[in-house]
A and B are shown apart, each in its own frame.
Chain A
Amino acid sequence: MRMTQFARKQRVTIISGIAAFQMIIVILQLWLFTATMETFLAGYQETALPAVLASVICLALNGGLFFYLHGLEK
């Protein structure tokens, strides 16, 4: 379904929902980054790689939502 098929108010609702999901994911990434930095500064080395993978998954989710929106707008 294309974005133009939605009423203008519905479009705002859809994009607000996507923004809310993205915000939750970005907050999760912020927490992950600070936790990784803490453990890195404390001299632990086990967390960096899993943290990178988790962050990349978050970016992929964000990207998925972003391109889904892009697809709706076409």
Chain B
Amino acid sequence: MPDEDSEVTSVAPDGRPAKDQPAWRRDFPVDWPEDEYRSRREFVAFLMLTSAAFVAGQFWILLIQTWRKAAGQPPVKEIASVNELAVGQSKLFEYPKQGNRCILVRLSDMNFVAYGQKCTHLSCPVLPRPDLGKMHCPCHEGWFDIRNGEPVAGPARRPLPRVGLEVRAGKVFANGYVEGVI
């Protein structure tokens, strides 16, 4: 295929011929089509690397998920006694590991709920508001239904991670996750 601009080694950005260009540009010509080709070539290589990075990220998620599945449910742990909390009161506890802060709320005589304390928006600590029937994240005015942890207002889109509970012999036990990851 004939190359219509094969004789032109430098095309100025304004498209005017070389004789109309200033002296400095005639002395130091830049081959703009070649320059554009090179910069796009580098961009294509960058996109290729970005694509590979996303695949690595997906594998990382799969790996963490497989590892968590293999680890199984966390152990049963006593977190409070029934008499310790009056209706409407709450208690902080750490489950399943130190540093994973969760919150236990007594909704009625025998109805307890527990959630991971990190807001699902940006991990601020949520506070119980049993008087309103909600959990509140004060950072960005996020609200969650206290009965099931579902988001009802604010920026959060995912429910609070819920801790499974069991009440026996006057004690409240945490026995794993019901939903979400703490």
Contact = CB atoms under 8 A, between A and B. Distances in A.
Binding between chains A and B: yes
A30 B54 contact: yes
Interface residues of A, number: 40
A56 B55 contact: yes
B14 interface: no
A48 B62 contact: yes
Contacts of A55: 54-55, 58
Given A29-B54, A43-B161, A66 B45 contact: yes
Interface residues of B, number: 40
- Residue with the highest number of chain B CB atoms closer than 10 Å, among A5, A7, A23: A7
B69 interface: yes
Contact of A48 (B43, B48, B65): B65
B44 A26 contact: no
B181 A9 contact: no
Interface string B156-177: 0111010000000000000001
A9 B31 CA distance: 11
Nearest to A4: B3
B132 to A, nearest CB: 24
Interface in A41-66: 41-43, 45, 48-49, 51-52, 55-56, 58-59, 62-63, 65-66
B77 to A, nearest CB: 19
B41 to A, nearest CB: 6
Contacts of B31: 8
A52 B34 CA distance: 37
22 contacts: A7-B2, A8-B33, A9-B33, A12-B33, A12-B40, A15-B41, A19-B40, A26-B54, A29-B50, A29-B51, A36-B61, A38-B157, A38-B158, A41-B120, A41-B180, A42-B120, A42-B180, A43-B179, A45-B69, A52-B55, A55-B58, A58-B54
